[in-house]
Structure 1
């Protein structure tokens, strides 16, 4: 007897033809089979299959159909005879999601509603009866599982059961959209090529985005995102990944490398003994972490950790090793959707004070302290500059890793002058590297950057290493500042009230993501990041940042005050007040919750355009007076990134610095200064002088000199500016490169809004 077997919270009942119900009885099934002249040798296997497939409220016909299917597999002739005896010829078939045909059974609908949505059994039975009646009227030959689900969803709406409809809905993407992705791809992320893996990612992303908006976030947050009040970044990863991390290679150099985090699915490496292996391990750490996180991966103090491995090696050998690393990071297509790892390395001109006395890790042991490897630290940096300067085999710039140099007190000393000139030659040629200014008083003893600009600083707990290493940004979500201005209608008090309302929504969303991530970590869905070295988990999740981003401060000011950041001191002061308000909000949350709340200048690769397009749809009259782009082409519209000066404003570099430096200390979760060097080939010593002035006389915390480039595919010649033909051979086969937000990328991959911004950008180098 299996009458006590459970299905959900109910015993399995069988519905007879007259509507009566009885508990499923295995003895009765055996007797029925024998009466139907089924050979005794088949009885046991038939009963086993029936017991595995039955469900609550199955009909007697449903059981007989299962018997028929099994019999046909055993002996087709006997199965066919059995089917004729029970007249199964005209039964409506359902093509299931498992690519099988099964007879239609209304009780499966009822059970699904109870199991998936929690609907009470009486209402579920009523809906399943109504669906059965309507299907019989349609005179169909077969149904699909999605068709039935759509009919049920419509019936739930008809009965006012929207909450249950949402739980019952099916996620996916229309056939038309899949065809479009196959044929044309997507330009939402310029780092993705159009290939089979990216197509697969885009399709999966759409399903996960729908899941996030239906299941992860409550309706009011999902609606705020969809309307454009806010932007929930990385929605496709909201349920499964945090964003970015600053890695510390010492753990792997001491204990070895398990790229799966467990050693059960991949080979395990002992601690690297040789420099070549250390380089490979560094690349694999970044690619392994990228598999578990949605944003850029970075190694802070890159040349510090590697310095012990370079002891005694000639410069040419060190250069070759750095070349190996650069090519690894530009050729391993291991990241999501068939792309290279979105990687960064933070570099030092000398060993910083907080690391000088720390034991230097190499090959599973320690040899002296990092302060003893000053020469190797400089040689690694110089080698990276030389390799990056050369470009790849076709003469193109290396797109990754983001090359970030920290400028401390000795940066402009005579001993570093030659290396600094080399760095600025690199800047002149490729628009690299990025600089972190460690000189302002508001900077802590260590600061680093990841990906486009997200930032960690050693002022969270006061423990520099815990605050800046093995942790990162959990997530940032973004405010649409121009819309707040439209809704405030010129009223200062109302503007800040609305801002607080939107910040409260972002806070709730970030708290949800925080709790979701805690669950992911506890369930070991991120085995690489949660692996232990000794007794300590690698990933310091408690120190990750929960971050408020923002877009369009310039347009907020233009609408609210009639002035822009660069046109009046009053506008600049009010802009500071707006961002200070967000920072105060974050700081208060920090005190209340004990979590690390910060403010960032959102990179806004797609968000600046999305906000502008939605505002032009819902607030057309207000938007058209401030938005950038071509009003006849909505896809070209965009807002100015974060608190930057409008890209085509008539400002000198000095004016731009004096405006934008106001916001870097406020944006403790990330900031950047983009100084356009679009056409000019600036003299390296002139650029170095500009760098010195920025570092010593401003509060700019992180910046780069952006250079537009063109590379001829035919002859390999590199040219400054965006060219349509080659200066050397006349070919029109030109690849164009520029910085889209915080990284160099081929312009052909950019979305329309960012392409319009590129056209609008105005060079402000070398004037100061």
Structure 2
């Protein structure tokens, strides 16, 4: 067992006389093949050593002391006796470990067994993973078919088993049973979820990709535009090694603008082309993915930043330390030109004419830009107005469906008083003066203080199952949801405890870096304020919850819709209560649920108590799913994401907007409205008119127009809509592109539930959109 014995051993020819602990001799035993690559003689002392070495781990996770030497010796003797009785010719480390663990369980030591057991994949499962099949092969549409993905999947399998074994059993069971879902379980014990970065930090301190400066070269602050762009790219790539989810840049163009001074339109287009291609061709994220990235884009300098000092080139330009006074308001022209350049690059697409999936362009629709600065426009006739810049984003939406619109006009979004952004798969983060006593210091970058917005982790609740349990009793349903939220907080506590240990071990070095201050020479401000990271509780299947509970979907009955709103407010108030009681910030959100919407539906069909209730209360092909349920879990059924109306509902776009916009102020952790477009060519002006109506007249905080596309891999040709073959050459070697949950991606990587949703979607004729 020692050294994690992976053995399949040699047999009778290798048997030797072994020394016992008490000095006697016993009949020969097989040699043992160890997992660290050695052939070892049998020695039961090795069992004792491993027990003494490994069981103290139970103290950290369970509060149980490790085994004594005497008890370890007794277990080793018992294991040896059992092996001898088996009369095996081949002996492996895993087999020895399995026998020892059985004895530990028989002796009532499940905690010791849990830290002694092995995690990982069978040989069969490992081979399946190598060929792109088996374990979670369609769990994440952003992952590619390559060797790095195979390694990631094997690591994921091991890490998920490890994390479920080490957390309290009742919490692990709630996840495994499908009552709730722990997102990014493979990274639960090693990293936070996602982060939105303040580029000023790196333009002041420079770049230290490894976070410590030992195994990577340390770069000083960027002095030129090309270097600033490349530093921004490397920040995204480096951050992916420390986080489980997406990476974003808040106020991207404003903070880059100091490097755009005196650049021509052509030069800016080249810079933006470099940035976009780097982000789409840098296959450095987890498992060889492109970096899951986003950039918040404003067409000018927001009023909040107009009088704030520029931070760039290693300086805070506030008139001290030999600097001139230079504020972001002086860079309005550079931001507008940079915005135009980025849209030009994205409109062109790549060399095949495909859209760029990343970085996701988060177009910020803000009160500051609803009226033109006529004096500036008159003085700069060669620079596009706000309306013209926004018009480019709707050209991009009409051509590819690429942009996401971050609507900051509604009062609940802060209306320019604080800082708010959408990121990752539609998670919302914010900072404001009321909740952050260092807000002004961060605005002025005083002593390196800056904005650090992100999430520790995400949980999702199986809301339809809560309804099945409640059996039409309002209070029971609400109590069940609150119970799951309480249990989610217990998971958050486990996460925090584990992560505190890793922070003490400096295992999250990029996020925890404190680089040298270029002005004082002292250690600077920490990159990520871990105390400011939020904990997110997401909802899945609110429509199906209401449908079972009341007998009708949200859009079929005013009473059902009102009940859905009531439940969400109850959950929001409970989240606020839990935040106060636990001293953490808990955000309620619609989680993207690329996999979880399917997983919950399949889990309910597998559960004898809920199967009959669930099969008439979910979306997709239930009959096919029931036939194949015993052979695979990747099946064409799903619950609706978050508080959405089902994608296949036969209602107009305006009706969908009117229903879904109600929930945006409630789910402060993030939400998205999808407008699925049919095959016709949209009119950019029509899209702009609709978008501005949504922004100014509804509570919708985040929305996107989605176009489906067909890509011919032979011709490199892109066609509108979902085609069975290439309309140019007739080839069947094609792929389809669409928005899966909150990002554009190849449909080939989608799971069966999401592919079924793609078929079910009710699409609007883009030539006939009416406000």
Compute the TM-score of the two structures, normalised by the length of structure 2. 0.86
Q: 1:326 aligns with which of 260, 268, 276?
A: 276
Cα contact 1:93–1:141 (8 A) shared by 2: no
Pairs aligned (count): 687
Partner Cα separation in structure 2 for residue 99 and residue 729 of structure 1: 54
Aligned residue number for residue 541 of structure 2: 552
Aligned residue number for residue 598 of structure 2: 609
1:422 matches 2:389: no
1:649 matches 2:666: no
Aligned residue number for residue 447 of structure 2: none
1:517 matches 2:499: yes
Aligned residue number for residue 747 of structure 1: 747
1:567 matches 2:517: no
Q: CA deviation at 1:464?
A: 5.0
Aligned residue number for residue 659 of structure 1: 659
Q: CA deviation at 1:113?
A: 2.8
Deviations, residues 452-475 of structure 1 (Å, cap 9, x unaligned):
011112244265576993231111
Deviations, residues 624-677 of structure 1 (Å, cap 9, x unaligned):
111111113331110000100100101111111111111111111111111111
Pair 57,371 (structure 1): closer, same or farther in 2 beyond 3 Å = farther
Deviations, residues 563-582 of structure 1 (Å, cap 9, x unaligned):
11111111111111111111
Partner Cα separation in structure 1 for residue 389 and residue 668 of structure 2: 29
Give the SS at the match of 2:413: coil
Q: 1:532 aligns with which of 514, 530, 534?
A: 514
Partner Cα separation in structure 2 for residue 471 and residue 313 of structure 1: 31
Partner Cα separation in structure 2 for residue 168 and residue 496 of structure 1: 40
Q: 1:106 aligns with which of 44, 60, 70?
A: 44
Give the SS at the match of 2:263: coil
1:203 matches 2:192: no
Q: How do 1:473-492 residues align onto structure 2 when only pairs under 5 Å count?
A: 473-492=455-474
Partner Cα separation in structure 2 for residue 161 and residue 543 of structure 1: 39
Q: 1:272 aligns with which of 193, 203, 222?
A: 222
Partner Cα separation in structure 2 for residue 61 and residue 350 of structure 1: 85
Aligned residue number for residue 286 of structure 2: 336
Cα contact 1:274–1:309 (8 A) shared by 2: yes
Aligned residue number for residue 588 of structure 2: 599
1:456 matches 2:446: no
Cα contact 2:132–2:150 (8 A) shared by 1: no
Q: CA deviation at 1:754?
A: 0.6
Q: CA deviation at 1:122?
A: 4.2
Higher mean Cα deviation, 451-460 or 385-394?
451-460
1:721 matches 2:659: no
Give the SS at the match of 2:638: coil
Q: 1:402 aligns with which of 335, 360, 363?
A: 360
Q: 2:407 aligns with which of 415, 437, 445?
A: 437
Give the SS at the match of 1:421: helix
Aligned residue number for residue 674 of structure 1: 674
1:384 matches 2:334: no
Partner Cα separation in structure 1 for residue 563 and residue 652 of structure 2: 22
**Structure exhibiting the larger radius of gyration computed from Cα positions:** 1
Q: 2:614 aligns with which of 617, 623, 628?
A: 623
Aligned residue number for residue 630 of structure 2: none
Give the SS at the match of 2:500: helix
Give the SS at the match of 2:452: coil
Aligned residue number for residue 4 of structure 1: none
Q: 1:245 aligns with which of 191, 195, 198?
A: 195
Cα contact 1:432–1:706 (8 A) shared by 2: yes
Partner Cα separation in structure 2 for residue 440 and residue 454 of structure 1: 17
Q: CA deviation at 1:492?
A: 0.7
Partner Cα separation in structure 2 for residue 111 and residue 412 of structure 1: 71
Give the SS at the match of 2:96: helix
Partner Cα separation in structure 1 for residue 388 and residue 649 of structure 2: 35
The unaligned stretches of length 5 or more in structure 2 are 1-18, 56-65, 318-323, 373-384, 444-449, 518-523, 626-634
Aligned residue number for residue 25 of structure 1: none
Partner Cα separation in structure 2 for residue 290 and residue 710 of structure 1: 30
Q: 2:77 aligns with which of 129, 143, 152?
A: 129
Cα contact 1:471–1:541 (8 A) shared by 2: no
The unaligned stretches of length 5 or more in structure 1 are 1-55, 63-87
Aligned residue number for residue 321 of structure 2: none
Give the SS at the match of 1:387: helix
Q: How do 1:503-514 residues align onto structure 2 when only pairs under 5 Å count?
A: 503-514=485-496
